[in-house]
Structure 1
Amino acid sequence: MADEHAIGFMDSGVGGLTVVKQAIKQLPRETVTFIGDQARLPYGPRPSEQVKTFSWQMANYLLRQDIKMLVIACNTATAAALPDLRRKLAIPVIGVISPGSRAAIKASKNHRIGVIATEGTIKSNAYREAIMTKDPDAEVFSLACPKFVPLVESNEYRSTVAKRVVAESLRPLKGTGIDTLVLGCTHYPLLRPLIQNVVGPDVTLIDSGAETVNGVSFMLDYLDIANTSATKYYPDRFQTTGSATAFATIASDWLDQPDFQATHIDLGGESND
């Protein structure tokens, strides 16, 4: 039986598109409905309870669009809201932290794993706990990189400024001996070439968002809710609480969709205050 309902994806901004890009590639028959809460980013410095409130607002908006699965395509929101959303929603809810942790453990040969993320994700210790639970011998080196999200959201992720900021931000990881580095924010894969250049070719980068789509694919099959139709009936929808034009500029480039269109929405109470 073909379930043609959309999969809902939500993030604080454009970062979640790194997850969507993998979903479009791996699950071409599935319809994507995406929300980026650009009006209130960054989520990283915000209190956990506030991030949970924002996450529920996005989730409820997507639920009204009759989604069949919810993907929290944001590490900060996953750390703050995943347990609550899973407990209270009737549809499957998938976060990005567990898949990224599993992939890092699998990739690391010396058990020295770095994690870069927002302040909120690092403060939550979600990655450290997930990794240590599965591999007690691991050493986890966590580093908050608060300047990375603004670089991406301002479409500066290929600039010389970005190159300098990435080099300066990652300096504390020098000498740690890590052989694996988790990109613990879905915005960070857009900076991947710069990050790889700084940490060197011997360090494996883990894209937590991309790993998440493997889990989405498994759950669709396991729960028998995949779209098995020969074609995709409903169009993808992309919505932002910020500027639809600014969102589309980055999204069309990252998703390689020249005719990309986004819609502005109001969730209520959006502000950067």
Structure 2
Amino acid sequence: MTERPAAQPNTAKSLTIGVFDSGFGGLTVLRALLALIPDAHYIFLGDTARLPYGSKSRETVARYAVSSAKFLQAQGADLLVIACNTATALALPDIQEALPIPVIGVVEPGAHAALTTSSFPDGPHHVLVLATAATVQSHAYTRALNALGLEACEKACPLLVPLVEEGWTNHPVTDDVLKIYLTEALAAAPATQTLLLGCTHYPLIEQAIHRTLDAIGHPLTIIDSADAAARATAALVARQFPNRTSDAKPTCTFYATDSIEKFQRLGSNFLGKPVAEVNLIDLGG
């Protein structure tokens, strides 16, 4: 995983971690971070005015993501987590080049987590990646997995994000959609042993995915890229900020570029607890 070393590790104050997403799915990454690094201050930005990133060009996504990253650094972030698969896939090098602080994305941690579940008794280990169309089209997961010696099969699942945002995480319609996607994907890659959730919305339907895999008779080891990114961040913090002071409990500040009420309503489902206050900011076009 590529990391930008901290020029001057923060040893004088408690750690501030910036977390960025194009919307609110990245709150599942924040949820995992809160459990693993409970003594930090978190600043979360959802660029809700400019989503979806998946319909934009790589250059536009990079411009949006860099402006959001710079905002979080200006708010005092000591390191940045890109909790967005599209921004990670299309703009991670641009963000790392633009910021003097450590930056970590979600793709490579997910690939490395898949590697830890792998064994090679009968040849290459196959990993099925469920993701949005934009992430699949980038082939970022295929490149990351292939670099580790793993075979990848990517499956675009465009209906899952709206179903999750509708709150249908335990609904027969979602089960039916998952059955179609998973049956198609496993027919194309029957040797698959591991399933990698390549979208930060998908942890909310992990139980439905388990249920569907059991129903079609093809259970898989499931890797949550949001959890993997949080674990990679915790390891980075231990290396680069070993002498930081600790807050008694984590604190969170939330920003969004549009749709404050929707962010609070849906964000609470993703974070697993109420999002009481969200600050509206304008980052331009």
Q: TM-score if structure 1 supplies the norm length?
A: 0.89
Number of matched residues? 266
Structure 2 counterpart SS, 1:39: coil
Question: 2:236 is matched with which residue: 213, 219, 222?
Answer: 219
Is 2:143 aligned against 1:129?
yes
Identity over aligned pairs, percent: 39
Q: Does 2:260 correspond to 1:248?
A: no
1:1-273 equivalent positions in 2, closer than 5 A? 1-109=11-119, 111-135=125-149, 138-175=150-187, 176-200=190-214, 202-224=219-241, 227-229=244-246, 231-232=248-249, 235-258=251-274, 260-269=276-285
For 1:245 and 1:226, the matched residues in 2 are separated by 38
**1:41 CA drift (Å):** 2.4
Amino acid at match of 1:17: L
Q: CA RMSD in A?
A: 2.1
Task: Tell me how far apart the structure 2 counterparts of residues 34 and 23 of structure 1 sit (CA, whole Å).
Answer: 12
Moved more, 199-208 or 70-79: 199-208
CA distance in 1, matches of 2:193, 2:111: 14
User: Structure 1 residues 226, 210: closer, same or farther in 2, change over 3 A?
Assistant: farther
**Stretch deviating more after TM superposition (103-112 or 87-96):** 103-112
Residues 17 and 41, structure 2, Cα contact 8 Å, conserved in 1 = yes
Alpha-carbon displacement from aligned partner over 1:155-188 (angstroms, at most 9, x marks no partner): 3333333233322333312332311011011111
- 1:230 CA displacement: 5.1
SS of the residue aligned with 1:181? Answer: strand
Change (3 A) 1:159 1:242: farther
Give the superposition deviation at 1:7: 0.6
Q: What is the identity, as a one-letter code, of the residue corresponding to 2:29? A: V
Q: How much does 1:228 deviate?
A: 2.8
Structure 2: runs of 5+ lacking an equivalent:
1-10
**What is the CA distance between 1:128 and its match in structure 2?**
0.9
Gaps of 5+ in 1: none
Bigger shift: residues 166-175 or 222-231: 222-231
Is contact 2:86-2:135 (8 Å) kept?
yes
SS of 1:142's equivalent in the other structure is strand
Using a 3 Å threshold, how does the CA distance of structure 1 residues 105 and 206 change in structure 2: closer, same or farther? Answer: same
Provide closer, same or farther for how the CA distance between residues 79 and 7 of structure 1 changes in structure 2, counting only shifts above 3 A. same
Confirm or deny: 8 A CA contact 1:52 1:77 kept in the other structure: yes
